[in-house]
Structure 1
Amino acid sequence: MDDFVLESPLLKLPLEALKTSLKQQQKLVERDTAWLTQQAAEPCTPATLDKMVTRLEQLKQKLVDMKQEDGARIAQSRARLAHLEQPPDVLASQRLDRLVADYMLRRGCLQGSTHYAQRHNVTPLIDADVFARVAEVASALRGGHAAACLSWCNDHKTTLRKRGSTLEFSLRRQEFVELCRVGAYAQAIEYARKHFPPHRSVHGSQINAVCALLCHRPDTTLEPYRTLYAADQWHVLAALFVQTHHDLYNIPVHAPLEIALSSGMAALKTPACAEALKHHKTQPLTLDTWLVDAGQAQGNPKTNTRHVCPICSPELLQLSASVPIAKAARSHLVDVLDPEGVLEGENVPVVLPSGRLYGLQSLRAYCTRHGIAADKVVDPATGETFDAATVRKAFVL
């Protein structure tokens, strides 16, 4: 898999945050400049001058705060560039720690992710502040509060409009629904007159449908009014906000850890793995069941999974259920006794009665080093001894 898929979010998010910040600063300066120009065009009283000075001081403070945030983003980008310039072995180790911390962030484990990142020195490589804000807004939406999300929409109004986002309209519609739910019809009508007109050209039919709630109670069974009154609409809005936010900042929908894991499993999965999955017990893989499976495998030398296909291990077997089988035009067998060697030529693959496969040349060398008789062979994994005549040559189809 191309490293770009895993590393691009590392650099994209700080850059997108900087772009958004610069646009907001430009918007603030243009808005306040226009107001000051309008005030200066008329005769100014001392009170007006005080307002102008206060407005300028507020603008200055906002710009200073935003500049500090931009400086932190620039420092973060430099740290990430330095991370990518490290030797491959160091980069691979830190990448795994970063992917794990990022996955924890996406699953809402903010405190655990922060501690993990600090312990493994990858704090500059994760965006804890970004995901913390996302989690806060999404949690508020699931609790039935849209104020924080509407404020976010207002900060990114221009970009959301260019992208054709429906988030703001969906929030306004839901607030109208909540007013109808409690029977506040007068407030609902006033709310619709204030907030629906900007969306009339695009969402006219949906506005007509939601306004019909004024004639339907929350216990209605008619569609689409029953769906509009559904209690899970706030959870739908929370998911829509997360998706919109990630699209805006070029954050992948799927965690990079999931992408890397699925790619690795797809590269290793064989038809034999799929067959093993059919006969595997169907109980969910939890921490307790994993410990039992792993403990049994480690306690029985005949089922020790140290040299078994990782896809067939208790850790990955169920996770790989939906992963496609790798398409390999040519098999390449690696000798477990000599990772640098392959099972070909004089080092032909042979199978012991224990069911394990080794290279014949490597197995003979192993037995010689350990003083095994010429008519005997020993399984390096289990320590079992067998007659040399029981060794069978393996053929790969």
Structure 2
Amino acid sequence: MGDHDGSKLDHENHLLLDQPLLRLPFELLRKNFRSAHWEVERDGSYVKNTLKETATSSVNGRASQDDVLRSLDTMLARMRGVKRKLTAFADEEDRLHRHEEARLRHLSELYSMHGVDDVKYEVWSRTRLDRLLVDYLLRHGYNDSARALAEERGIELLVDVETFEQMSRIRKSLLNGSVNEALAWCTAGDTKKELRKINSNLEFMLRYQQYIELVRNPSQNKPNEALAHARKYLLPYKDIYPKEVRRACGLLAIPPGTAPLVPSYADLYSASRWSTLADLFTATHNDLLSLPSIPLLHIALSSGLSALKTPACHANRGGGSRSSSSSSSTEPPSSSSEEPQSQSQHHQEPQRHAPAPSSAAPPSHATSLSLAASVCPICSTELNELARAVPYAFHSKSHVEHDLLLLPNGRAYGKARLDEYARKAGLLDGQVKDLRTGEVFGVDRLKKVYIT
């Protein structure tokens, strides 16, 4: 029953990691609809007002026939432009619907599987791993590699290459010292209104950086351009960002050459501000689209490491010490796990972490370390340091054998299993045999283990 429970799929926990898979197309559909609605409202209002003015002027005799025809031509051209934009919005909506349909179909396949030992689950989990790798590559700017991997695996509809490519392009322009693309993104369609809803300061900080660059290079700009920029884009926010506006005013008296002499203004001319702006844009972009701030691969990896980690995993590597008494305890659990199968495998063999009693010669440090690493992934050289900072798993059900006994060589087994193995091996009464090494010990040398 324990093995069956350990291999059973928890569909809800699996889907926790896949929420962005469905949420991002939904957010993009909302954004696409809002942008289309904004275009219709703006151009519709223009046409209505222009038509009303033209009709009034024509009736009152203030407009000639040629003026009326020119006005009508302007309105027709404007509406043709609206039609082209709406066609593009419709195409984008169809594309997003295809993505949503493919993702729903992909996730629905999970519910046809009931355990991790299902052969279909291996294929499904491989596809999910490919998705996580593409997400990781996109977040770190490896767009060509991400696109190539998505095409090779045939998962183009399960990843969002175009969205992250746009974000990467804007981020790169900020790192290259240009705010134009980021400002265009902030003011495009309905984005400006959405930024106000989440109280984002991205647009203000971009305008602020524009002002700094105007002050930095006065010879390349008109003398009063910096002042005009400040009056238009910074002063209206003096109540919301008073510190930044005051520093902007004082910056006029601090040329770049003298900024190091005034520490409170030196950071405004620092090149590191572009990296800060790029990070601010990335965080704002993720907030608007309900994307996690870190790659999904990191979340899955930390969850998997936490599911396997126990306090003993770092005890032999300077991360702590264990008592040599027959009583054993673990630290309070502090994390949940999504991999019940991994938990089961990790705790079905607790003997690898059991301490050796003082009455027997303990194995050498190197031997015990190698033995632990051979059966515990977290104790391995590759994963031990990586798992040091993750919390311990929360185990709602114990998979440790009942009535655990500690052998002199540091291994621990359940009493029922030791008795059965001794009977099959034909040992004398009062003797038990190590299931792995074959060593024989008297029962008087065994110690009972308590895990609290």
**TM-score interval (norm. to shorter):** 0.7 to 0.9
Q: Residues 202-213 of structure 1 correspond to what in structure 2 (within 5 A)?
A: 202-213=240-251
Q: Which residue of 2 aligns with 1:289?
A: none
Q: How far is 1:243 from its partner?
A: 0.5
Deviations 1:2-39 (A, max 9, x none): 33431211111111111111111111111111111222
Pick closer, same or farther for the CA change 1:49–1:390 going to 2, 3 Å: farther
Q: Residues 45-64 of structure 1 correspond to what in structure 2 (within 5 A)?
A: 45-64=68-87
Q: Of residues 211, 222, 232 in structure 1, which corresponds to 2:272?
A: 232
CA RMSD of aligned residues (A): 3.3
Q: Which residue of 2 aligns with 1:313?
A: 380
- Aligned partners of 1:210 and 1:225 also within 8 Å: no
Matched residue of 1:96: which SS?
helix
Pick closer, same or farther for the CA change 1:352–1:214 going to 2, 3 Å: same
For 1:109 and 1:349, the matched residues in 2 are separated by 53
- Aligned partners of 1:277 and 1:321 also within 8 Å: no
- Aligned partners of 2:373 and 2:381 also within 8 Å: no
Q: How far is 1:274 from its partner?
A: 2.7
Aligned residues: 360
Q: Which residue of 1 aligns with 2:51?
A: 40
Pick closer, same or farther for the CA change 1:198–1:49 going to 2, 3 Å: farther
Q: Which moved more, 1:41-50 or 1:76-85?
A: 41-50
Matched residue of 2:252: which SS?
helix
Q: Residues 141-152 of structure 1 correspond to what in structure 2 (within 5 A)?
A: 141-152=174-185
Q: Which residue of 2 aligns with 1:158?
A: 193
- Aligned partners of 2:421 and 2:433 also within 8 Å: no
Pick closer, same or farther for the CA change 1:204–1:387 going to 2, 3 Å: closer
For 1:390 and 1:61, the matched residues in 2 are separated by 87
For 2:126 and 2:411, the matched residues in 1 are separated by 31
Q: Residues 186-265 of structure 1 correspond to what in structure 2 (within 5 A)?
A: 186-218=224-256, 219-220=258-259, 221-265=261-305
Deviations 1:148-173 (A, max 9, x none): 00000001111111221100000000
For 2:184 and 2:214, the matched residues in 1 are separated by 20
For 2:143 and 2:126, the matched residues in 1 are separated by 22
For 1:16 and 1:259, the matched residues in 2 are separated by 21
Q: Which residue of 1 aligns with 2:440?
A: 388
Instruction: Please say if 1:101 is aligned against 2:168.
Output: no
Q: How far is 1:99 from its partner?
A: 1.9
Matched residue of 2:147: which SS?
helix
Q: Which residue of 1 aligns with 2:20?
A: 9
Q: Which moved more, 1:155-164 or 1:195-204?
A: 195-204
- Aligned partners of 1:367 and 1:378 also within 8 Å: no
Q: Which residue of 2 aligns with 1:115?
A: 148
- Aligned partners of 1:210 and 1:228 also within 8 Å: no
For 2:423 and 2:159, the matched residues in 1 are separated by 52
- Structure 2, unmatched stretches of 5+, are 1-11, 59-66, 114-120, 321-366
Q: How far is 1:308 from its partner?
A: 1.8
For 1:36 and 1:365, the matched residues in 2 are separated by 90
- Aligned partners of 1:265 and 1:323 also within 8 Å: yes
For 2:309 and 2:253, the matched residues in 1 are separated by 57
For 1:163 and 1:307, the matched residues in 2 are separated by 50
Pick closer, same or farther for the CA change 1:105–1:374 going to 2, 3 Å: farther
- Aligned partners of 1:350 and 1:360 also within 8 Å: no
For 1:160 and 1:188, the matched residues in 2 are separated by 25
Q: Which amino acid aligns with 2:379?
A: C
Instruction: Please say if 1:179 is aligned against 2:214.
Output: yes
Q: Which residue of 2 aligns with 1:297?
A: none
Structure number with higher relative contact order (C-alpha < 8 Å, ≥ 6 residues apart): 2
Matched residue of 2:387: which SS?
coil
- Structure 1, unmatched stretches of 5+, are 281-299, 334-342
Matched residue of 1:34: which SS?
helix
Q: Which moved more, 1:179-188 or 1:324-333?
A: 324-333
Pick closer, same or farther for the CA change 1:315–1:365 going to 2, 3 Å: farther
- Aligned partners of 2:373 and 2:380 also within 8 Å: no
Matched residue of 1:253: which SS?
coil
Matched residue of 2:294: which SS?
coil
Instruction: Please say if 1:65 is aligned against 2:88.
Output: yes
- Aligned partners of 2:374 and 2:380 also within 8 Å: no
- Aligned partners of 1:138 and 1:242 also within 8 Å: yes
Q: Percent identity?
A: 33
Q: TM-score, normalised by structure 2?
A: 0.70
Q: Which residue of 2 aligns with 1:292?
A: none
- Aligned partners of 1:277 and 1:318 also within 8 Å: no
Pick closer, same or farther for the CA change 1:326–1:231 going to 2, 3 Å: same
Matched residue of 2:18: which SS?
helix
Q: How far is 1:209 from its partner?
A: 1.7
Q: TM-score, normalised by structure 1?
A: 0.79
Q: Which amino acid aligns with 2:47?
A: L
Pick closer, same or farther for the CA change 1:373–1:161 going to 2, 3 Å: same
Q: Which residue of 2 aligns with 1:290?
A: none
